[in-house]
């Protein structure tokens, strides 16, 4: 697979999906590194393009 340099498409072509998972909130009393709140989480994301929208996408591939 070659590296893509530029992707040009209308805003309506891709469908962006984002999910936040496993939120962990640490209070200042339990935080061993700072006297502050700490919020840890995992962020998953992906980009889908329906088959009927693939024709409107232009990609510049690296050499």
Query: How many CA atoms lie less than 13 Å away from 12 in the CB half-sphere?
Result: 4
Q: How far apart are CA 24 and CA 39, in angstroms?
A: 6
Q: pTM here?
A: 0.55
Question: Which residue is it, tokens 């962020």?
Answer: 43
> Which of the four pLDDT bands, split at 50, 70 and 90, describes residue 1?
low
DSSP string, 34-47: -SS-EEEEEEEEEE
Per-residue model confidence (pLDDT) at position 59: 87
Torsion over CA: 47, 51, 57, 58 (sign): positive
Per-residue model confidence (pLDDT) at position 2: 67
Q: What is the pLDDT of residues 4-60, one digit of tens each?
A: 788 899 999 999 999 999 999 999 999 999 999 999 999 999 999 999 999 999 988
Per-residue model confidence (pLDDT) at position 3: 81
């Amino acid at each position: 697979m070659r590296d893509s340099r530029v992707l040009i498409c209308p805003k309506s072509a891709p469908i962006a999906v984002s999910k936040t998972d496993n939120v962990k909130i640490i209070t200042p009393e339990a935080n061993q590194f700072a006297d502050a709140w700490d919020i840890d989480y995992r962020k998953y994301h992906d980009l889908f393009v329906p088959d009927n929208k693939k024709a409107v996408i232009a990609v510049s591939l690296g050499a």
